[in-house]
Amino acid sequence: MLKDMMTHFELVQPADLDGALELLARHGADAWPLAGGYDSFDWFKNRGKGPSVVVDLEGLEELRGVREWGRGDGRAGGIEIGAMTTLTDLERDPLVRERFALLADAAGHVASPQIRNAGTIGGNICQDTRCWYYRYGMTCYRAGGNTCYAGATGAMNREHAIFGADRCVAVTPSDVAPALVALDAEMVVRSARRERVVPAAGFFMPPGVDITRMTVLGSGDLLTAIRIPGRWAGADFHFEKVSDRRTWDFALVSVAAAVRTNGGGRIEDARIVAGAVECVPRRLKAAEELVRGRPRDEETAEMAGEVAIRGADPLDYNHFKIPLLKNLVKRAVRGA
């Protein structure tokens, strides 16, 4: 199944965003936008993807950087992040660290320092699933077949979903995605014809809607920026990722949380989002509702952890994700 070689493609390097969008529109499904390349080159070399045209976004400075954004309606004090901003720059940016340290922490947990130096936030969000059955060329549902190999009895599925499986049990591998959903971020998607803004919670595609895509991006679409409104700026943030290795590895379970408390130590509002437990980042709404108005203590944390794991349906080898998710939610609510 592994080809260990790249197919021939034409490399084009547009000078500006309009040029890139025109190229993506002209070549349609045959075009592949290239950011940092760490997911793309894997696909090109031995995962069976063979675009005829690769659109290199490296020279588009307008897609880089962090800037002030937002006026009114809970957006004041927000920021806009260019999709080509590297994960290292995101982790170190003073504006991000001051207002939305949750995102900086999540970016700092991606892979290794070398990869973060070149990998981009847009690429991390848009990368395809890491399920090895799919990536190594098996004809599963996501690849156009009629079965899910990872969901079969005895399959290698310790990294896969425990919630919301619909034919496919693969999870989104993005570390920054749960943080963006917790911060109520908005994704700016451009094509040659239009611009649209998609809430982060609706950007990731459930397999029951379209099993061939991980995000709402279609042919000719490009994620150009991420906007974070100011409503959660300066909240009490918590990000925790558990993986087999401290660096390089993808999450087994992660939790991103933003919590606001009043002067009496009671929780006014919270966002709690889990990664690597569902095909999309899983917002734990029942746990959020439970903690509102309650003291931020051990009892509240215990109840939130119990609520967070309700409905879990593990596979043969990922039962451990249930107590792991429960404990990470408890730590986020408790403020460990």
Q: Are 122 and 35 in contact (CB under 8 A)?
A: yes
Q: What is the CATH classification number for the domain harbouring 43? A: 3.30.43.10
**pTM for the whole structure:** 0.96
Instruction: Evaluate whether residue 178 is within a structural domain.
Output: yes
* 268 CB neighbour count, 10 Å cutoff: 12
Helix (H, G, I), strand (E, B) or coil at 24: helix
Q: Torsion-angle region of residue 300: left (phi > 0), alpha (psi -120 to 50) or beta? A: alpha
Comparing 33-47, 130-144, 279-293, the range with the smallest average pLDDT is 33-47
262 with 312, same domain? yes
**171-225 pLDDT per residue, tens:** 999 999 999 999 999 999 999 999 999 999 999 999 999 999 999 999 999 999 9
What pLDDT was estimated at residue 336?
66
pLDDT number for residue 249:
93
Over residues 160-174, mean pLDDT: 96
Mean pLDDT for all residues in the chain: 95
Mean pLDDT of 150-161: 96
Query: In terms of domains, do 122 and 251 share one?
Result: no
Q: Write b or e for each residue in 205-240: b if 16 or more Cβ atoms lie within 10 A of its Cβ, otherwise e.
A: bebeeebeebbbbeebbbbbbbbbbbbbbebbbbbb
Pair (327, 284) in one structural domain: yes
Number of domains in the chain: 3
Residue 249 shares a structural domain with residue 328: yes
Pair (18, 100) in one structural domain: no
95 in any annotated domain? yes
Residue 46: its pLDDT value, please?
66
pLDDT digits (tens, 9 = 90+) for 43-62: 888 667 889 999 999 999 99
User: What per-residue confidence (pLDDT) applies to 1?
Assistant: 58
166: in domain: no
The reported pLDDT for the residue numbered 244 is: 95
Q: What is the pLDDT of residue 44?
A: 86
Judge if 112 and 203 occupy the same domain: yes
User: Using CA atoms, how far apart are residues 88 and 121, in angstroms rounded to an integer?
Assistant: 9
Residue pair 83/35 in contact by the 8 Å Cβ criterion: yes
d(CA 23, CA 87): 26
Instruction: State the average pLDDT over residues 314-325.
Output: 98
Read off the pLDDT of residues 59-103 as tens digits, 9 standing for 90 and up: 999 999 999 998 777 778 999 999 999 999 999 999 999 999 999
Please tell me what DSSP assigns to residue 205: P
pLDDT at 2: 59
Q: What is the pLDDT of residues 243-275, one digit of tens each?
A: 999 888 999 999 999 999 998 899 999 999 999
Residue 298 belongs to what domain range?
236-334
- Answer whether residue 146 is part of any domain: no
**Residue 26: partners with Cβ closer than 8 Å, 6 or more residues away:** none
